[in-house]
Structure 1
């Protein structure tokens, strides 16, 4: 099989090519023009539409191999074919055939047909590298027509009250899909400047939209305003006194989404594959090996293994596998991403561990094991299965660990009869994450808005920017006790930053 590594991007060492790396590389495939997938590479492989969008978003000189969809092309001796990904305008998947086997890399993708992106296709491949943003069973989206109907109804109801409906979606991809959704509704869209700029590029390639206007502060009455999420607390929106704001995101299926985004409504129109489509895509490609990336990568890989498919989380340092034997006392064991078949067999049988895709493995962590078990339980719908998983984990703990873990599983840092509180809200955590990762405010807000979840935001902000360390349950208790004792947000922020 083709050798695959992961280091802030997928790397194929035998072919010496990177796939969607975070940092500038000599040769890279760029799947689409979203900001988290582009960098100032020396040489790139792209679709024609992504090349044009990338020039608008990241100007500069670079050598571009612009490929048409479905046409096999030889680049540096590599037999490459790009096929549509269905994610956004111009988004592509990377199909590679070598003497060592075939590989299909999805980048961001979706199977549900959209109105502003080319429909996704697929190829049979020995290795499938796929994004798994919504890789939990609870992320199953309603039919697109139903969501669009709800968005249109929201806009009409808002306009009838004399207010301005504001729809939040990324300026590239989501905003154009929203614009297409409004085409038959008889509404008057008004586009934020960045949305307008991207939409004009779509039109240069023949994409048609309903009639729209560019944003004008004095003419918003009676219009449907389409903006990127970054404007949600901007002076631009604050000047509109009567408005109702809706977030358009796949994360809207999560309970409490309107409170997390601080909006009036949220609709789960996504440009990513949901859980159903992720499973379906694996069935279509029929790979011998699946490597998962992003989102719930470890959880989805585990689901595939339970279906008899070899699958490993590529972008995670390690993942917990609870091996449940007949009457055996189960112990947590760490599996690292993307093993060879022989290595995988050894780890499943408890023979040892092997090097991960980032090189040397970080120290195993009690707290990581606790957190992974918690995620596993949360993703399990059956109550009896939750009880079984929890019981198997608790059997592995000593007396001190047991007292701490059982308290944490109640969702509180201290026992119920202990009235102490931590008083470390999102503002404190926000500042601590920014300082620890050395991120500027705009970049951190971009990360936070892309997830809508504090835990995922923390992982994205810290991964690759800090050095993970082992963290025991006892150390976590000491941290919570110290946070309680420290008075004032500055001291709490400093403590969290150091930890």
Structure 2
């Protein structure tokens, strides 16, 4: 194991099990958990850059390791297979599927002072590309709660998929190029798989195409997709990163219909920012009801919430849970 570097950890901790210092650390080992600056040992739940860093030793799944190396260079990794406990720095650590994106993992840790489940970004229910989340009971739960407000009760997945397919199909019938805005890693690949599974071929922006090649090499087949080479192909959807297109639209395309695929589609202000575009509420995060369901399934002594509205803590307290905001 790499030598642990000095770390200043604030005293706020739970039974000596974890603490925070501009990020989450397991105690007493000081293993960083989704800490975004280099650590001697760091667990990376998935390869989105707000959860990853070039640690001296990164603990993650094989798929995440490949994507981290693509994004950060030659990072030394120790692969964690789902459901297979490993003894690391005095902790018994187990990676569990998170259902967020391909390769994403929750972290279950068992220590003499208690058990802890850290969800990272997660989603309950099916995914086109990610293994379904597997929760377990734990003494303490640290969970992301991005959509921890009742406004974010998303429609049923099958309804959302039908919305996406209908929107894309109708755009093609009108002679337009459906241009879908989606995150480069995760959402773009899931949307690709959904479309190709229903007979709609996909062209991808180069940065998305690079990630999709890693998915394919890691065993996650995405179907009929190709690189967008500067001109649309009749009958194909185009997927691009979530950046505003130029006023002229997509280079090479005369008639474009823009489609935003995100859980934030439930936000009226977001929709008003581009009222002529299509908004599809497909998310890779747990919605409000899934967050509540997760707490019930884990049945912890205490819940610590991150990355969401602090009002969700009060919501949990009103439901009888010992809930706190993790600074």
CA distance in 2, matches of 1:158, 1:197: 26
CA distance in 1, matches of 2:247, 2:189: 21
- 1:207 shift after superposition: 1.7
What is residue 6 of structure 2 aligned with on the other side? Answer: none
CA distance in 2, matches of 1:88, 1:2: 31
What is residue 4 of structure 1 aligned with on the other side? Answer: 18
Structure 1 residue ranges, 4+ long, deviating more than 6 angstroms after superposition: none
What is residue 170 of structure 1 aligned with on the other side? Answer: 183
CA distance in 2, matches of 1:144, 1:310: 31
TM-score between both structures, scaled by the size of structure 2: 0.91
Which structure is richer in relative contact order (CA contacts within 8 A, separation 6 or more)?
Answer: 2
Mark the CA change 1:151 to 1:34 in structure 2 (over 3 Å): closer, same or farther.
same
| Residue from 221, 224, 227 that aligns with 1:214 | 227
Contact 1:257 1:266 in 2 (8 A): no
Contact 1:2 1:102 in 2 (8 A): no
User: After superposition, where does 1:36-435 map in structure 2 within 5 Å?
Assistant: 36-60=50-74, 62-230=75-243, 232-233=245-246, 237=250, 239-261=252-274, 264-296=277-309, 298-315=310-327
Per-residue deviation, residues 116-143 of structure 1 (Å, max 9, x unmatched): 0011001111010000000011111101
| Residue from 25, 39, 52 that aligns with 1:25 | 39
Contact 1:191 1:225 in 2 (8 A): yes
- 1:2 shift after superposition: 4.2
Per-residue deviation, residues 187-240 of structure 1 (Å, max 9, x unmatched): 221111111111111111222222122102134443200111135348872553
Per-residue deviation, residues 45-92 of structure 1 (Å, max 9, x unmatched): 1111100111111113x4322111100101122211111000000000
Note the aligned Cα RMSD (angstroms).
1.7
- 1:8 shift after superposition: 2.7
The structure in which a higher percent of residues are strand is: 2
CA distance in 2, matches of 1:50, 1:184: 24
Name stretches of at least 5 consecutive residues in structure 1 with no aligned partner.
316-499
The structure in which a higher percent of residues are helix is: 1
CA distance in 2, matches of 1:266, 1:172: 19
What is residue 5 of structure 2 aligned with on the other side? Answer: none
Contact 1:133 1:295 in 2 (8 A): yes
- 1:185 shift after superposition: 2.8
CA distance in 1, matches of 2:125, 2:110: 27
